[in-house]
Amino acid sequence: MRTQRIALAVFLAPALIPLLMAAQTSQEPVRDAIRGGDHIHLPSPPAADAVPVVDTYFGTKITDNYRWLEDAKSAETRDFLDKQIAYTDRYLKQARVRPEFAENLDALVHVTSWTTPIQRGDSYFFTKRLSGEEQASIFIGHGWTASNAPKSSTKTAKQTNADLGKDIRLIDPASLSRDPNTSVSLLEVSQDGNLIIYGVRQGGADEEEVHFFNVKTRKSMEESLPAERYNSVDFAPDLSGVYYARFTHKGSLVYFHKFGTRLSSDALLFGREFRGEPLAEMDLISAKVTDDGHYLVVTISRGVPAKRVDIVYRDLKKPGSPFDLLIWGTDSRFAPLYANGDWYVRTDYKAPNGRILRAIPGGVAPDAWETIVPEGTDVLDSANIVGNKLFIHRLKDVKSETTIYTLQGKAVGSIQYDGIGDASGLSGSTKDRYGFYSFQSFIRPPTIYRYDTATGKQEIFAQPKTPFDSSEYELKQVFYKSKDGTRIPMFVAGKKGLKTDGSERLLMTGYGGFNLSETPDWNPLWAAWMAQGGWFALPNLRGGGEYGEAWHEQGMFAKKQNVFDDFYAAAEYLIANHYTSAAHFAISGRSNGGLLMGAAMTQRPDLFGAIWCGYPLLDMLRYQSFELGRLWTAEYGSAENEKDFPYIRKYSPYQNVKPGTAYPAIMFFTGDSDTRVDPLHARKMAALMQSSSTGGRPVLLHYSLKSGHSAGVSAAQLIDDYADQLAFLWTETGPR
């Protein structure tokens, strides 16, 4: 998730294990679909057998006709998928706009791109994917020079750049596997710059292997950590080994692995219980070493998103010493910051918009801690200490602002940004003079800057040469009222001069959950849609973090309907102001945003012409029983609880499909490699919607055998997936 994450006796009906017949392709007559100039010949979708399974929730009987599709490995499910893949391919081969989207996306995606670097001395470590390559490699660059500097459109940034001509490729995923969907990520660099921790991921799975690389010898070390979900991996100060936190469904555990020893002998340092309190699956644990190597800091986040965060630490200069308390047992969130022997925290304790406190270790209550940066009217999104200064990143109506403070809390400046956009927090080590940040927007590809904390000077580190002329596009922010009168912000972007007479296509996306703020980020997907001539919109729905914890809470548990109502109100605003009309209105969302799409198609099918529903949560009565679902009960609740069942049942998309309804065109999108949100949701919903919709619009299941929830697929795979998505949405929102 742009994101993250009781007794089964409530299921009173006995389990049914039906013998399923293979799904048969319908022999109904071929229908013609004319959309946006495309003449698509498509038969009725493959038939899927309805095999009723009845569960009873607190006296309410619920029938599930497609429970058998939860078994991903069964012969019946694989046969169903084979037919669905062929059916979707048949559609896409007739979408005449697809080659044009694919060509534009290839130009937007296949550009040289960088990640924000990690500086160690005069060396810079980062990942870079060269134009034409399928995956990014890990590079090292040396020194800083004004040569090769790209021209900047930002008035505040001087035209200088790292000498990219001296970049040296250290780790190339193509040398690790012939599978182009094998990717690498830079996880950590030792303080002396001699060792690297990097991850290797297959496709879009969450799990990754962890490897270690010697920069001097230019070789990977022989040992590694197996493919798992790792919350953190960090070097011991003496480089004798690594601390790692690994997630399991029984709980997260922190280990120390000494180089040259067997993994089975790794020492368990933290987990299972602390201070007599058991730690379990809902308690996500990470462990990081402070920049000076003095302490191992363990953070325990209770649930996804966490309502309570505990922090303990161990003095690494005293081997075998116990963990001491920084904060424990307070129902608020705390993020640790450490510099020069002092502890600081970013917290929403008695401050929903966030503030910075100087912490007193040893179990002292936070009421006794000194306020360094007080709560303001704008939400405090992130905080970092670089160059012994505090860089506070806030969202002012979802637009980035960064203020600089001394460690005593005196404001001493700010970082200026050029127009509406999203800036990352400044990254760097506590005592480093330089830090790095990126700035981007829907109509501006990301540029990475180096910031001098001593002088305030900004220089460009990396800027992609993307074939997208930002000057031809406009990005603005509007505000509208939701169903209950709440004022909601929304970004709207498109080509300058685009008509507002209701005739243009418009693509809107949304999320609204897990305290995640949806900021105006660059995405080749949205850029390609706008380049084709469509409007793009993003409303900032409740449930996110755009206005602090109070905003988040308005979209949780029984208030989840607010998220959906905010989304519908955004659509009604855009239609009323003639950006588009319902027939030309496309919507798209993934993960928790896929749940939003499911609610939109079942609650307001009249508002939209086409819906792309990616990696979605849809059967909300059963989500908690699969993959990481149990973690998300901290956001949604669980139908296993009597108090939660009524409101979840009311909006759960899978239980609210009404046979005989004229639903919009729908594409469900998922894949076998999604190990976060189980693909069963899309499989079941596609079968149910195909059998229920009577509007004559296509209902497709786009199912990949490689793609998954996380990043990591090849550039070619990404282009294909994006082209399929946009071709479907553009075709289905054309003239009708």
pLDDT in tens, 163-193: 444 899 999 999 999 999 999 999 999 999 9
Cα–Cα dist 555/551, whole Å: 7
At 5 the pLDDT is: 27
Q: Nearest Cα to 46, choosing from 1, 9, 89?
A: 89
At 203 the pLDDT is: 79
Q: Which amino acid is at 187?
A: L
Total domains present in the chain:
1
- Of residues 186 and 28, more confidently modeled: 186
Cα–Cα dist 216/176, whole Å: 20
**pTM more than 0.85:** yes
Residues 61, 62, 66, 70, CA torsion sign? negative
Using 50, 70 and 90 to split pLDDT, how confident is the model at 202?
Answer: confident
Q: Is residue 98 part of a domain?
A: yes
At 37 the pLDDT is: 42
Helix (H) or strand (E) holding 563: helix 561-576
**Residue 379, CB half-sphere, CA atoms under 13 Å: how many?**
19
At 158 the pLDDT is: 35
Which residues carry out catalysis?
A: 591, 709
Q: List 225's β-bridge partners, or say none.
A: 210
What does the pLDDT look like over 438-494, one tens digit per residue? 999 999 999 999 999 999 999 999 999 999 999 999 999 999 999 999 999 999 999
Q: Which amino acid is at 626?
A: F
CB 24, CB 82: distance < 8 Å: no
Q: What is the CATH number of the domain that holds 595?
A: 3.40.50.1820
The percentage of the chain sitting over the pLDDT mark of 70, rounded to a whole number, equals: 91
Q: Dihedral, CA atoms, 331, 335, 336, 337, nearest 10 degrees?
A: -140
Q: How far is CA 447 from CA 291, 423, 618, in A?
A: 27, 10, 37
Query: For 209-233, what is the mean pLDDT?
Result: 97
Q: Is residue 565 part of a domain?
A: yes
Cα–Cα dist 566/487, whole Å: 9
Phi-psi group of 483: left, alpha or beta (phi > 0 → left; psi -120 to 50 → alpha; rest → beta): alpha
What does the pLDDT look like over 10-24, one tens digit per residue? 222 222 222 222 232
Q: Is residue 422 part of a domain?
A: no
Task: Give the other-Cβ count within 10 Å of 430's Cβ.
Answer: 18
Q: List 76's β-bridge partners, or say none.
A: none
Cβ-proximal residues to 34 (8 Å cutoff; 6+ apart), any chain = 40, 736
573 lies in which domain range?
24-36+72-104+472-703+724-732
Q: Nearest Cα to 306, choosing from 512, 615, 516?
A: 516
Cα–Cα dist 110/615, whole Å: 24
Q: Is residue 728 part of a domain?
A: yes
Task: Give the other-Cβ count within 10 Å of 49's Cβ.
Answer: 18
* Six token digits for residue 57: 């929730």
Cα–Cα dist 671/614, whole Å: 10
At 457 the pLDDT is: 96
Q: Is residue 60 part of a domain?
A: no
Q: Is residue 190 part of a domain?
A: no
* Six token digits for residue 255: 């280990």
Q: Which amino acid is at 712?
A: G
Cα–Cα dist 568/692, whole Å: 23
At 38 the pLDDT is: 61
Q: Is residue 436 part of a domain?
A: no
Q: Is residue 511 part of a domain?
A: yes
Query: For 326-348, what is the mean pLDDT?
Result: 97
At 17 the pLDDT is: 25
Cβ-proximal residues to 630 (8 Å cutoff; 6+ apart), any chain = 249, 281, 282, 624
User: Which residue's entry shows tokens 């970013």?
Assistant: 346
Cα–Cα dist 254/275, whole Å: 16
